[in-house]
Structure 1
Amino acid sequence: MKTIAVFVAIIALSSAADECYKDIYATCANTLSKQPGNLISKCDSKYGAIDNLQHDLQRFTNNLLFRSFDFLLLSTHYGNYIKNRPGFEKLFRGLSDDLWQDGIDTIKYITKRGGQMNFNNIPAEIQQSQGPLELYELHALGKALDVEKQLAKEAFEIHKTASGKTHEHHDPEVAHHLEEKFMEKHRDTIRTLAGHTRDLSSMLDGPDASLSLYLFDEYLQK
């Protein structure tokens, strides 16, 4: 009886489509022929709909990296001897570091799922001129808030596609990764930036805008 069960299991395994086992079996059978190419091409870590989702993940990753550089430029702008806003410098340097790490983590995730990173897959809005980043403090906070919301929206779109019921794009593991590694953290970032924007706006309505900016920058240094 055990022999029959094992035989049935072997038949079921060998009849599966696109199986790594089949590639290995064929490779072993053709070893003497020395055929060129990757004879075990199906023995990779791909599963689910990563092939159909990796284009969006690549574009999202490039957006993270480019926006990280935007925040880095803002940080250096406020860290020079003319502006001398160490609080704003610290804020934007932290935002830059966070997005850079998110980008690196997403690259690792794509490759872990058997995909490849394409640094030429750049969003259209990045390819267009973004304008100068030497902004006033309140404008810079508003810009940062818009960037974080746009990134969150892009993550939502990928999550929506991965959570759909179409076989070509359904991949709950991608959706879970976005929820766990990105969405919760950026929710808090958006809330913080929204609070900073409203607080500074209210403070600048006072009689001494210069003092308000100084005190707010002191607060950001903590």
Structure 2
Amino acid sequence: MKLIVGLTVLLSAVALISADLECSIPLDEKAEIPQGWINMTQVCTDALKKQIQTEIGASYEYLEMAAYFSQDVVNRPGFAELFFKSAREEREHGIKLIEYLTMRGGNLQEGVHKLISVPYKEEKYEIKFDGVSALKHAVEMETAVTKSIRALIETCENDNNDYHLVDYLTGVYLEEQHKGTRELAGKLTTLKKMENSHGKLAEFLFDKQL
């Protein structure tokens, strides 16, 4: 009985201590911190946010393509894995840019959901790809993403000469974009050549190679 009473007293004391340690700072209260270290211009910040949405949009589109080839009625596991991988890479690019934006003190007060919203398609359609058209679409999409990154670099270079971001984008992102696009273009060339010699069997064989 004494043991039970002792445990009860101990638990009550722990509860009181825990209550005292609870954070009472309101969630909407802003900390007063120096702002001089935040030197990205609003023009560059907005352009970077746009690029984040572009990367997230490409990720969703690759995911849609991967899901299409994963269906039992299509059954192209090689293509599916290729585009699942591409979706992960584009999402990772978006994540890295978000981390960079917050590192530079980027303001997300307008809502993170706007930054990573699902791309809206005005017209509903049913996707239907074969291997060649899918790879061609992927090359075109990567080309568009590369052009978008170049536009971001130009904006941030001309607007307040943000050399750090420009160097980061040039050294990391453009390198990956050029290599990735070249790889997809090579796959497209190979598949087209295989179709010339193997006809409809080419896509099946190429999928096995993937």
TM class, shorter-length:
0.7 to 0.9
**What pairs up with 1:6-155 in 2 under 5 angstroms?**
40-43=32-35, 45-47=37-39, 49-117=40-108, 118-120=112-114, 128-129=122-123, 131-155=125-149
User: In 1, distance between residues paired with 2:177 and 2:123?
Assistant: 25
Q: Which amino acid aligns with 1:198?
A: T
The gaps in structure 2 that reach 5 residues or longer are 1-28
Quote how far apart the aligned CAs of 1:40 are: 3.5
TM-score scaled by structure 2?
0.76
Query: How well do the aligned residues superpose, as a CA RMSD in angstroms?
Result: 2.4
Q: Which amino acid aligns with 1:185?
A: E
User: In 2, distance between residues paired with 1:214 and 1:65?
Assistant: 30
Quote how far apart the aligned CAs of 1:218 are: 1.1
TM-score scaled by structure 1?
0.72
CA contact (8 A) 2:195 2:201 kept: no
Instruction: Select the residue among 162, 170, 179 that pairs with 1:179.
Output: 170
Q: Which amino acid aligns with 2:99?
A: K
Within the alignment, does 1:201 sit opposite 2:192 as a pair?
A: yes
Quote how far apart the aligned CAs of 1:72 are: 0.8
User: Per-residue CA shift, 1:176-196, capped at 9, x if unaligned?
Assistant: 111233110111100011111
CA shift in 2, pair 1:176/1:101, >3 Å: same
Quote how far apart the aligned CAs of 1:128 are: 4.2
Quote how far apart the aligned CAs of 1:77 are: 1.0
CA contact (8 A) 2:194 2:202 kept: yes
Q: Which amino acid aligns with 1:59?
A: K
CA shift in 2, pair 1:129/1:186, >3 Å: farther
The gaps in structure 1 that reach 5 residues or longer are 1-36
User: Per-residue CA shift, 1:47-106, capped at 9, x if unaligned?
Assistant: 2x3432111111110111121011111111111211111110111011000000000110
